[in-house]
Structure 1
Amino acid sequence: MTAGMTTSTPTSTGPTAKPGFTETVRRLASAQKPPAKGSPAYSRFINRKIGRVLAAGAYQLNLTPNQVTLISACLSAAGIALIPLVAPSALTAVLIPFLLLLGYAFDSADGQLARLRGGGSPAGEWLDHVVDSIKVSALHLAVLIGWYKFYDLPDAALLIPIGFALVQAVFFFVQILTDQLRRAHPSQAPPAADGSLTATIRSIMVWPTDYGVLCIVFALIAWQTGFVVAYTVMGAGTLLFLVAALPKWFREVSRFGR
């Protein structure tokens, strides 16, 4: 070696340690995507928090967002399958809403996990929407079959789940399309929901459109009258909201790009 020269040994810090479960939950809370304006109360205040915990657990288990989406699909499918296949009872009144709500929570978890891992992908978003589109239609078709098999109802009553399926399919499509157009024109899109009292009241007022509330309604499935009435009220409320919202959304998107 030449006098006066020194050598240094390269140092390595090694791979960054994965944060623990509690720290992961904290990170998810601080990086939470703002809810859309008018987001229903259960979805906004309860389901997102449950999904946050599930996303943190999935992160610890090295699951991918697509795997979480598939877990959500399996849980929802199991809950939906019970409706036409098993006669209503106290057991199904517990299992069906539990499986539907857990599937809904995992549906929230996949997006949160994607953000935690650095952002989602178009393929992941596509898979999530495909699963949701199947779920919202299959649920009401399952009710239609369940009512026909297990309930003593006039034939005209079967039009209720058919109508609800149609309304829900249109509602889901319009929501997704409007959201995509808002993303394409962020400067003209309405602000996200905030923590104000007005925003909270708005979230509560749109309860008929809340999928979480609809899942809870299935706790009445062993009580024919109660379930039929509650389910019908949910369907009628969703229809009224859709009829009122369509002109508003059309006026909103009409301004995009001007």
Structure 2
Amino acid sequence: MVQVGDRPAQVRETFRQTHARLSGAQKGARGAPAYSRFVNRPAGRLLATAAYGMGLTPNGVTAISAVWTFSAIAVLALARPSWGAGIAVAVLLLVGYAFDSADGQLARLRGGGSLVGEWLDHMVDSVKTASLHLALVIGLYRAQVVPEAWLLVPLGYSAVSTVHFFAMILNDQLRHRGGAAMRSAAGGTRAPVFRSLLVAPTDYGVLCLVFVLYGATDVFVAVYSLLFAATAAFLAAACVSWFREMSALGRPDTSTG
């Protein structure tokens, strides 16, 4: 089989052939929550295949993702809570999320990504992570449809999501620095479906879907609060596990001086 990135420029593929090549070059799904694993990643694969045929670059796909995502954040901050606004926010976020998955997959189709592409992708993700819940605070405060004390929940959600995102990036950097390349490769194996379902409440895709309930404010507030509690509990437990992992990675360095 021709490997990703090895296809001569003069050979043209069908959509099906490109999609098959990309499917055979997927990263593992270690610990990926259910929506991200079973819905968003396949959707991103289709978008990456289409973008490859159109000659788009990974950075261009990242920019498309940003447009969809930040449009949703703007609607959340400026529109009153309603069924229409909630559905619009959910659709915009989910499409943006699919394109966010597509940029890395497109990079693999083109033979590998670049440092500036990785930087741009992470910067867009960090802005999204920090601003989404703050936009909800702004929108609900302007509409005056929930008790002001409850606005502490999305503020807390913003903090938890930002710390979680930073921890994942930092963990990857320290694993490579600690010589855990073999561990990273082993971590690419597929995790049990049960685990993906178990961590589904922490899934960004599930959070996006919850905005469909934005028109039923009381229901939305209850479900959103449950997701916040689940995400905060997961982060607390994960930090203990990550601390132990980093302690183990650090031991060889200290023993060799």
Does the TM-score normalized on the shorter chain lie above 0.5?
Answer: yes
For 2:212, which of 205, 208, 219 is the aligned residue? 219
Q: Does the 8 Å CA contact 1:188/1:256 hold for their aligned counterparts?
A: no
What CA distance in whole angstroms lies between the structure 2 residues aligned with 1:138 and 1:148? 15
Structure 2 residue 155 is matched with structure 1 residue 165:
no
For 2:71, which of 69, 74, 78 is the aligned residue? 78
Structure 2 residue 196 is matched with structure 1 residue 200:
no
Residue number in structure 2 paired with 1:46: 39
Residue number in structure 1 paired with 2:243: 250
What CA distance in whole angstroms lies between the structure 2 residues aligned with 1:122 and 1:255? 28
Amino-acid identity (%): 50
What CA distance in whole angstroms lies between the structure 1 residues aligned with 2:84 and 2:224? 19
Q: CA deviation at 1:180?
A: 2.2
What CA distance in whole angstroms lies between the structure 2 residues aligned with 1:225 and 1:33? 39
Question: Aligned letter for 1:139?
Answer: L
Question: Aligned letter for 1:150?
Answer: A
For 1:58, which of 43, 47, 51 is the aligned residue? 51
Structure 2 residue 10 is matched with structure 1 residue 16:
yes
Structure 2 residue 182 is matched with structure 1 residue 187:
yes
What CA distance in whole angstroms lies between the structure 2 residues aligned with 1:193 and 1:33? 6
Residue number in structure 2 paired with 1:175: 168
Residue number in structure 2 paired with 1:124: 117
Residue number in structure 2 paired with 1:134: 127
What CA distance in whole angstroms lies between the structure 1 residues aligned with 2:112 and 2:23? 15
Residues 142/15 of structure 1: CA separation in 2 closer, same or farther (3 Å cut): closer
TM-score (norm 1): 0.89
In the alignment, structure 2 segments of 5+ residues that lack a partner are 1-7, 253-257
Residue number in structure 2 paired with 1:156: 149
What CA distance in whole angstroms lies between the structure 2 residues aligned with 1:208 and 1:220? 16
Q: CA deviation at 1:16?
A: 2.1
TM-score (norm 2): 0.90
Question: Aligned letter for 1:177?
Answer: L
In the alignment, structure 1 segments of 5+ residues that lack a partner are 1-13
Which structure has more helix as a fraction of its residues?
A: 2
Residues 151/227 of structure 1: CA separation in 2 closer, same or farther (3 Å cut): farther
